[in-house]
A and B are shown apart, each in its own frame.
Chain A
């Protein structure tokens, strides 16, 4: 057991998987000598050589297209998109090719690839480097979406994602890279589609993912001082989506607050809220609440950025509202 950061957890996982599967290939911008902008692939070039650790020109289409081609021919590939914002460039490859190949080939072509990328604000990176875009990809059948909230989950989930024969979009959060977790020495895998109750509570269900788990847990701690016991569910993966855990909790608490960093309109919260009312209508004592970013591009200046991205306060207020205490 050792305490390591999120970045270290990712690096160790990739290294272990590279060793486990000699054909596993890494591809992306600046991942070789530079070691990736967050240092996830540091040392990989020296250890595994330029055949398996490929730095590319600045062309997201080429990265994803090449990775797809390799995967279809049986070479498991981890492609890195430096910022999820840049997926825009590779959108045709992702939504028209990667997501559809298995289906259009009648299952003949497997696509064992992971697109690793990172998203989120809070670092003053402005509108083109701070977005959360999971909602876009959630709308595309054929992609699995994984969004770990801590180093431990990141390791277990990335292993499963790499070994999966379907394309997986693995979205990290830039504010989580330095966060530490205790990681066991022995290998472990976390299945996709299994939410994790990060805090038990009986009064309200907070459904969230990725960095917002941290914020939601802070909000829950504050709410506890008011006598409100919030249950915090970390979905961990959006596809597959573990609604069972969510519904079980909502049936118990009678209220739900969905928190995500992507903007409210068309965010995954809308989908979860819809499923809650479909499956647990009789259990709701208040409308399902959604906390999301305001529907504007993320501002550069720090106070404005904070105003747009959900904060602890916003979650506390939403919880009070569904409990009719505001």
Chain B
């Protein structure tokens, strides 16, 4: 019997998916459970396994196509078997060069907005084949003037020449494209502010020494400083509900669960798997959870479940030798904590110079949700817990 493959709905909010790669060719045999194609959603790369055995008789959408969920995308059937008739949903696979212009045109049409341009600018745009609605006017009240058209024409030429001159061109696809979109949105729309503290890491390093064997015995993994920081930040979040929140337009959602996102660098980009209810987990549980997620991330096996629902993100760049960082908030979260390397430094304490392992922490926060005082209070709580982790037991 013929099986129609549909674009799966991989999460509650998923409305469409991109066919990133067909792993089987049309006419090729595929067994049930074998990887059939790679699907890209807004959040993850997903490897789709064939629900049936047979021959991949028909591939309905090419790689790169964006298809609404539940739309048929392929048919698996036996040789010679009659295929069901399927009406194609019209989607186009825009080439990268055409895409922005096409989008701009559609937008202008649907919004029906009049484009204000000087007569000379209109004429020049027509002659040069430039779509006025794709331009930003620099004249009074956004009027598009000659200089804008000339600028656009100039830019196009410059960009083209640059592309031609580049030795290697990396198309913006997959995870890179998503990072580009989301980080642009975040940095453009979220008013970030940054608070930094330098903390004494002695107690955390001591703690790790003291309990690492116990953790290894229980969870079969090595305990890292990141694991301890996840526990500490999760605990601090529980005590500062405003930091464990989301901005939702006209309201702020305070979240019950503390789900800690941990940034992991992959070869082709960054992914943030989530340790759920980190505040309720033991160090051993957290360590094992993170190690598990990292393994999955490196193999491209993360599920949608693994990467959604985060309420806060921790990004530790200490192992890369970075002293201090100012991370971009992972929307819709309220904050992100950037951790720098731990390094021994001279510290003056009660008139005496001592050598201590210090590290910089930088908290980026969404000023729409919190102000400096609240974020500062939270960051100080993190410092207290880092410098005296026994408080976690209290």
Contact = CB atoms under 8 A, between A and B. Distances in A.
A285 B120 contact: yes
Interface string A246-280: 00000000100000000000000000000000000
Contacts of A282: 119-120, 122-123
A283 B122 CA distance: 9
Nearest to B118: A285
B344 to A, nearest CB: 57
Contacts of B138: 324
Contacts of A188: none
A324 to B, nearest CB: 5
Pick from A283, A285, A324 the residue with the most CB of B within 10 Å. A285
A286 interface: yes
A283 B123 contact: yes
A286 B141 CA distance: 13
Contacts of A281: 119
Nearest to A277: B119
Interface in A294-326: 324
Given A254-B146, A324-B145, A324-B147, A284 B119 contact: yes
Contacts of A283: 119-120, 123
Interface in B92-120: 118-120
B272 interface: no
Contacts of B121: 285
Interface in B105-156: 118-123, 138-140, 145-147
B37 to A, nearest CB: 52
A254 B147 contact: no
Interface residues of B, number: 12
Interface string A50-77: 0000000000000000000000000000
A254 B120 contact: yes
Contacts of A324: 138-140, 145, 147
A281 B140 CA distance: 19
B90 to A, nearest CB: 38
B123 A286 contact: no
A117 B56 CA distance: 97
Contacts of B122: 282
Contacts of B120: 254, 282-285
Contacts of A286: 118, 139, 145
Contacts of A284: 118-120
A97 to B, nearest CB: 44
Nearest to B123: A282
A282 B122 CA distance: 8
Nearest to A286: B118
B276 to A, nearest CB: 55
Interface in B195-252: none
A319 to B, nearest CB: 15
A254 B118 CA distance: 10
Contacts of B147: 324
A242 to B, nearest CB: 23
Interface in B143-179: 145-147
Nearest to B144: A285
B144 to A, nearest CB: 10
Contacts of B145: 285-286, 324
Contacts of B118: 284-286
A294 B123 CA distance: 35
Pick from B120, B121, B139, B147 the residue with the most CB of A within 10 Å. B120
B126 to A, nearest CB: 10
Contacts of B146: 254, 285
Nearest to A281: B119
Interface string A93-132: 0000000000000000000000000000000000000000
Interface in B331-388: none
Interface string A8-43: 000000000000000000000000000000000000
A284 B123 CA distance: 10
A324 B143 CA distance: 10
Contacts of B123: 282-283
B330 to A, nearest CB: 40
A151 B120 CA distance: 38
Interface in A113-164: none
A322 B324 CA distance: 49
B98 to A, nearest CB: 29
B149 to A, nearest CB: 9
A324 B147 CA distance: 10
Pick from A282, A283, A324 the residue with the most CB of B within 10 Å. A324
A200 to B, nearest CB: 20
Contacts of B139: 286, 324
A283 B123 CA distance: 8
Interface string B290-318: 00000000000000000000000000000
A172 B176 CA distance: 74
Contacts of B140: 324
A282 B146 CA distance: 11
Given A284-B118, A285-B118, A285-B121, 12 more contacts: A281-B119, A282-B120, A282-B123, A283-B119, A283-B123, A284-B119, A284-B120, A285-B120, A286-B118, A324-B138, A324-B145, A324-B147
Interface of B: 118-123, 138-140, 145-147
9 contacts: A254-B120, A254-B146, A285-B118, A285-B120, A285-B146, A286-B118, A286-B145, A324-B139, A324-B145
Q: Which 10 A-B pairs rank lowest in CB-CB distance, beginning with the nearest? A: A285-B120, A285-B146, A285-B118, A282-B123, A254-B120, A282-B119, A284-B119, A281-B119, A285-B145, A283-B120
